[in-house]
Amino acid sequence: MTQLILFTTSHCHLCEQAEAILADVKDKHAISWHAVEISNEDHLTDLYGIRIPVIKCINTQTEINWPFSANDILKLINP
């Protein structure tokens, strides 16, 4: 199973869209993810603050920034 991290923050409509895309991908592919709130840690806010939502593949340590589609997530998990 491919594990992903969704870097997000509260009240982010783009992050909500990203979660919906991830849910669609999960219905068809073996992925799991957990959301990480970037505002809880200064270094995450500095790194991802203007790029969220960002998905990171734990297996490959690669990331994609918004905007992304289901196809982009599939490319991330199947390089």
pLDDT digits (tens, 9 = 90+) for 10-50: 999 999 999 999 999 999 999 999 999 999 999 999 999 99
Q: What is the pLDDT of residue 79?
A: 79
pLDDT average, residue stretch 51-77: 97
Domain ranges of the chain: 2-77
Look at the alpha carbons of 69, 32, 53, 78 in this order and tell me if their dihedral is positive or negative: negative
- The overall pTM is greater than 0.75: yes
> Are the beta carbons of 67 and 15 closer than 8 angstroms?
no
| CATH architecture classification, 2-77 | 3-Layer(aba) Sandwich (3.40)
